[in-house]
Amino acid sequence: MQEDILAGLNPAQREAVTTVKGPVLVLAGPGSGKTRVLAHRVAYLLRVVGAPPRAVMAVTFTNKAAGEMKERVGRLLGESVPVSTGWKGLTIGTFHSICARILRAEAGPAGLNPNYVIYDDGEQLMAIKQALRDLKLDEKLYRPEAMRSAISKAKNELVKPEQFQAGTYFEEVARRVYVRYTEIMSANGALDFDDLLTRTTWLLQEQPEVLHRYQDRYEFLLVDEFQDTNTAQFELVRLLAGKTHNLFAVGDEDQSIYAFRGADYRNVMRFREDFPDSKVILLEHNYRSTQTILDAANAIIAKNRHRTPKKLRTDRGQGLQVTVHEAYDEADEAAFVVKAIQRLVSTREASLGDCAVMYRTNAQSRSLEDALVARGVPYRLVGGTRFYQRREIKDALAYLRLVHNPADNISLMRVINVPARSIGDKTVAALAAWSAEQGVSMVGGLALVAGDLTSPALSETETFAASATSPQRAAPPQHPFAAAAQRSLTAFYRMLAKWIAAKDGLTVAALLERITEESGYATWLRDGTEEGEDRWANLQELRSVAAHYDDFPPELRLTAFLEEVALVSDQDELAEESDRVTLLTIHTAKGLEFPVVFIVGLEENIFPHSRSMEDPDQMEEERRLMYVAITRAKDRLYLIHAFRRMIYGRTEVYEASRFLRDVKGLSGVSSATSSGARQSWGAEERGGGASGGDRWPRRDEEAAWTPSSHGTRRDTESRAPFGKTPRTAAGSTARGTPWSPGSIDRAKADPPPARGDRQPQFKPGDRVDHGLFGQGIVLKSELTTDDEEVTVTFAGKGTKTLLAGFAKLRKV
C-alpha cells in the first residue's frame, strides 16, 4: 500500500509526502508536481499513518483545486475512504467553504444568524450604498467601490470597525462606512466573502473552547498556494495548527500574483519565523516545460530581489526555440498569432485545444477575437459573463434567499418588483424607512402592513434600530402607505409568506419552480424573444443544480444549496472538452498548462502595466506574472509585442517590454521580428492586396499610416452575444476589407512566398465548399512558405481568408 502511494515520486516529493510530524514548508516551482504531493500526502496520512479522515483538513483557494484534490485522493485510495467535505469524513475545501461551514455550525458562539446568506460583490456594493445613504454621504464623492476596497482591506488585516485607525479624512469616511456597513450586514443576516474568513478567525481567537475543539479534531493540516494567503487566512491556519503543529504548506513566492486582493507572499517567510522548527523542502524539478522555456522563466524571475533563490530544471532537453515577434499593431499581432496557430494545426504539430493566448488585461482579447472570427478559428474566451452573475439567476437566487432568510433586505429589494407589481421605488424606499423605524426587517414591515402579527419575520429579525428585541404587538402600527400601495405590498407579502411556510416541505427544485411560477417570474421572463428563452434555459439549469440537493435532509438542503451557489463559480467547471483555442488573462491561466502558449502585448505600460511602473514591489509582481505566464508553456512559446497599439481610442507607439530584453539574449530564443524580415527581402517585394493585418509600412510611409488611412475597422461590428457555449466563428459576421484601397505600397511581414515550383490549388473565380461556411467564390489565392492562403467570399457569411492546408476547402 505504501508502495502504491509513494510510487513514482521523486526524492523531494517523497520527503514532502512522508514528513508527517511538525511543520513542513514546500516551496514548489511551477510544474513540480505539488498537487500530486498534496494528494499523495493525504492518502499517506490515511493509509500509512492511519490518521482518521476526520482529523485531516486540506485547504485550497479554488473549488477547482479542491475538486482535483478530492478526485486524486479518491483515486489513490480506491474510493474506499469517504471523501467529502462533510463533518464525518475528510475536510477538503476552499478557505471560504470551510469557514462557511464552521460559521454555520458555530452560529451561536459566532453571534450569527444560522441562516445567514452570503453576499457577493454586487450585493455588498448595494449594502455599502445603503450605508452611504444612511450616513448622508455623496456616492459621487465617496465611490462605493473605493469604500468596498477599504473595508475589504481592513478585514483582510483582521481590523474590526472599532479598531479602524483613520489617518486621513478619506479613511475617516471609510471608517464610518465600515461601521454602518457592518450594522447593515448584521441586520440583514448577511456575510460577505471577507467575513467568512475574518469571522471564523475572530471566533477562534476569542473563544478558546471553540478553538480547542477544532484544534483537537484537525491533527493534520494541509494548505495549498500558501503565497496567496492574506493575514486573516494565515492567522486562521496558525490557530488551527496551534496544538499539533502538523502544518503542511505548499507555495511558491514566485507565483504570487494576487497582492491586489490582499495576498501576501511574505506569509511564506513568516511561516518559517512562526514555526522555527519547520522543515523546508524545495521542489525544483519541472515536469512540464522544455529547458529553453525554463531558462526564459528563470531569466525573468532571477531579477526579483525578494525571493528564495530557486532554479527550475527539467530533463526534457532544450526543446524548440522560443520565438519573439514584433508585430505592427494589435491587428497584426492577432493575425500573427492566428496564422501561427493555423500553421501548427495544419502540420499536425498541435491541435487548437493545445494553444492558449494570454494577455495582461481583458480588453486585449478583442483584437484576438476579431482575428479568430475572421479566419473561422474556434476559440473559447475564459472569464466572460458568469452563469451565477446572470440576471435571471441572481433574481431566482434572491427569491430563494429571501425565503431562507427574510431579514435579507437586499434580496427583497431585488425581487419585490420583478416582475412589476406596482411597487415602485418610492414605495420601496418608504417601506425601507418605515421598517427601520419599526425596528424590523422589510419583510417584517410587510407583515405589519399586511396585518400579520404572527409572522416569523417579526421575531427572527436582528435589528440595529432602537428596539433591540421585537416587542409583542397587540395591533399593527400606523403605516404610511396609500390603499393601492398597501394592496400591492400585502399581495406580495402573502405570496412570500406561503413560500416561507412551504419551504421545508419542498425540495429546492420544487420550491424554485413554485416561486418562479407563482411570482409570475417565469411568464415574465419568457416574453417570446429568443433571449427570453435563453434566460429561461439558464433557469432550468439552475433548477437541475438544485436537484442535486433533493436527497439532503429537508432542514439542510436549502442552506447547502445557497451556500454552494454563493461559493462556486462556473469558472470551476470550465469545460475543456472541445478543441478550441483558449484566450485568457495570465491571472486566470495560473495553474494551467498548454503545449503552445502565446503571450501578447509585451510592451512597456501594457505588460508591465502602467500602474506598476512607480512601485518596485508592484513591478516585482508584474515580473512574477510574466514568470507564471511563461511557465504555462510545455513545448512552444511565442512572445509578441506590437510597435503601436490603440488603447482607449488612442493609438500610440509602445516600447517593447523590459521582459523581452531579459529573455532576448538567451540561447534558444529567436527574435524573428517583422522589421528584420522586411529588411532582408525588401519593402518593394509586393504590392497592396486586400488581406490586411499582416503587413508593415515602410518607414517613410509611417506618417501617412494613421487610423484614417486604413479605413474603418469593426466599428459597426458588435460583439457576438454570450451564450451558454463559447463563441465560434460559425455565428460571426464578416467585416469589410480593413485597409483602404489605393493606399501606398506595403511590404509583407510574413515569410516570402515559396519560390516558383509550386502551383496554387485555387484561383480567383473558383467555386469552393467549406464545411462551416458552405459555398463560396475564391477572390484570390497566394502561396506562403508552407501553405496556400485563399480568400473566399461566402454567401451570407462574408469574406474569409483561409489556409488551404487547414480549412477543408473543396472545389465544386
* Residue number, 346 or 709, with CB nearest to DNA: 709
Residue 582 binding DNA, by CB under 7 A: no
Among 304, 361, 605, 709, binds DNA (CB under 7 A): 361
492 belongs to the binding site for DNA (CB under 7 A): no
Q: Whose Cβ is closer to DNA: residue 95's or residue 271's?
A: 95
Binder among 383, 689, 711, 753 for DNA (CB under 7 A):
383
Q: How close are the terminal C-alpha atoms of the chain, in Å? A: 63
Q: Which helix (H) or strand (E) holds 357?
A: strand 355-359
HEC secondary structure over 389-415: HCHHHHHHHHHHHHHHCCCCHHHHHHH
Please select the residue that binds DNA; options are 79, 550, 572, 685, rule is CB under 7 A.
572
- Which string of x and - marks every residue 303-342 that binds DNA (by CB under 7 A)? ----------------------------------------
What stretches of 572-695 show up as alpha helix (H) in DSSP?
A: 586-589, 616-630, 658-664, 674-681
Q: Is residue 775 at the binding interface for DNA, with CB under 7 A as the rule?
A: no
Residue 599-628 contact track with DNA, rule CB under 7 A, x = bound: ----------x-xx-----x--xx------
Tell me which stretch binds DNA (CB under 7 A): 47-55, 440-448, 626-634, 645-653: 645-653
Single out the residue of 463, 585, 673, 801 in contact with DNA (rule: CB under 7 A). Answer: 585
User: Would you count residue 588 as binding DNA (CB under 7 A)?
Assistant: yes
Task: Name the segment binding DNA (CB under 7 A); options: 304-312, 491-499, 568-576, 725-733.
Answer: 568-576
Q: Which of 139, 172, 517, 576 binds DNA (CB under 7 A)?
A: 139
Question: φ and ψ at 750, to 5 degrees?
Answer: -75, 160
- Closest CA relative to residue 298, chosen from 597, 631, 600, 601: 631
Among 473, 548, 587, 780, binds DNA (CB under 7 A): 587
Closer residue to DNA in complex, CB, 64/176: 64
Catalytic residues: 34-35, 224-225, 255, 632
* 276 makes contact with DNA (CB under 7 A): no
CB of 712 to DNA, least distance (A): 10
Closest to 525 (Cα-Cα) out of 646, 447, 420: 420
Please check whether residue 499 is in contact with residue 511, taking contact to mean a CB–CB distance below 8 angstroms. Answer: yes
Q: How many residues of this chain bind DNA (CB under 7 A)?
A: 45
**C-beta of 569 vs 709, nearer to DNA:** 569
Question: Applying CB under 7 A, does 569 fall inside the site for DNA?
Answer: yes
Query: Could you say which of 715, 741, 756, 759 contacts DNA (CB under 7 A)?
Result: 715
CA distance 219 to 233: 18
Does 261 interact with DNA (rule: CB under 7 A)?
Answer: yes
* Segment contacting DNA by CB under 7 A, of 42-50, 93-101, 449-457, 485-493: 93-101
> Within 399-428, which residues bind DNA (CB under 7 A)?
417, 420, 422, 424-425
Tell me which of 649, 687, 742, 796 binds DNA, using CB under 7 A: 649
Rounded to whole angstroms, the Cα distance separating 577 from 353 reads: 9
> Taking the CB of residue 592, how many other CB atoms lie within 10 A of it?
17
Q: Closest CB to DNA among 382 and 465? A: 382
**61 touches DNA by CB under 7 A:** yes
How far apart are alpha carbons 569 and 64 in whole angstroms? 9
The piece of 47-55, 60-68, 730-738, 772-780 that touches DNA (CB under 7 A) is 60-68
> Minimum CB separation from DNA for residue 64, in Å?
6
Q: Does an H or E element contain 250, and which?
A: strand 247-251
Give which of 124, 99, 147 is closest to 563, Cα–Cα.
99
Smallest distance from DNA to CB 75, Å: 21
CB of 593 to DNA, least distance (A): 17
Instruction: Identify the H or E element spanning 41.
Output: helix 34-44
Contact mark string toward DNA, 167..196, x via CB under 7 A:
--------------------------x---
CB 607 within 8 A of CB 655: no
Residue 471 C-alpha cell reads as 416587542
Residue 165 Cβ vs DNA, minimum distance, rounded to whole Å: 23
> What is the smallest separation between the CB atom of 613 and DNA, expressed in angstroms?
10
User: Are the C-beta atoms of residues 357 and 391 closer than 8 Å to each other?
Assistant: no
Contact 254, 627 (CB under 8 A): yes
Is the Cβ of residue 529 or residue 670 nearer to DNA in the bound state? 529
Q: Which helix (H) or strand (E) holds 359?
A: strand 355-359
The residue among 81 and 131 lying less far from DNA, judged by its C-beta, is: 131
Residue 82 or 424 with smaller CB distance to DNA: 424
Within 8 A by CB and 6+ apart from 263, the residues are 227, 228, 229, 230, 256
482 contact partners, CB below 8 Å, separation of at least 6: none
**How many CB atoms sit inside 10 A of residue 588's CB?**
16
Estimate the crossing angle of helix 231-240 against helix 95-105, to 10 degrees: 60
Please tell me whether the peptide bond between 608 and the residue prior to it is cis, using omega within 30 degrees of 0.
yes
The grid coordinates listed for 795 are 454567401
Q: Judged by CB, which is closer to DNA: 174, or 568? A: 568
Taking the C-alpha atoms of residue 330 and residue 344, their distance in angstroms, rounded to an integer, is 21
Q: Is 786 in the site for DNA (CB under 7 A)?
A: no
94 binds DNA (CB under 7 A): yes
Piece of 103-111, 594-602, 641-649, 801-809 that binds DNA (CB under 7 A): 641-649
Torsion of CA 534, 535, 536, 541, to 10 degrees: 90
Minimum CB distance to DNA smaller for 98 or for 778: 98
Sign of CA pseudo-dihedral 544, 545, 551, 555 = negative
CB of 572 to DNA, least distance (A): 5
Q: Does 363 interact with DNA (rule: CB under 7 A)?
A: yes
Cell readout for 4 is 502504491
- Return the number of the residue (121 or 702) whose C-beta is nearest DNA: 121
Question: CB of 2: closest distance to DNA in angstroms?
Answer: 33
Distance, CA of 640 to CA of 134 (rounded, Å): 51
Dump the DSSP string for 746-811.
-EE-SPPPPPSS---S--TT-EEEETTTEEEEEEEEEE-SSSEEEEEEETTTEEEEEETTTS-EEE
Q: Residue 648, interface with DNA (CB under 7 A)?
A: yes
Q: How far is the CB of 425 from DNA (least distance, A)?
A: 7
| Stretch binding DNA (CB under 7 A), from 172-180, 456-464, 569-577, 769-777 | 569-577
Which residue in 758, 745, 757 sits closest to 789, CA to CA? Answer: 758
Site for DNA (CB under 7 A): which residue of 97, 229, 435, 673? 97
Please tell me whether residue 157 binds DNA under the rule CB under 7 A.
no
Minimum CB distance to DNA smaller for 618 or for 671:
618
Report if residue 64 touches DNA, rule: CB under 7 A: yes
Question: 741 — phi, psi (to 5°)?
Answer: -70, 155
Among 10, 19, 52, 120, binds DNA (CB under 7 A): 120
328: helix, coil or strand?
Answer: coil
Under the rule (CB under 7 A), what is the footprint of DNA?
A: 61-64, 94-97, 120-121, 139, 193, 257, 260-261, 360-363, 383, 417, 420, 422, 424-425, 567-569, 571-572, 585, 587-588, 609, 611-612, 618, 621-622, 646, 648-649, 714-715, 719
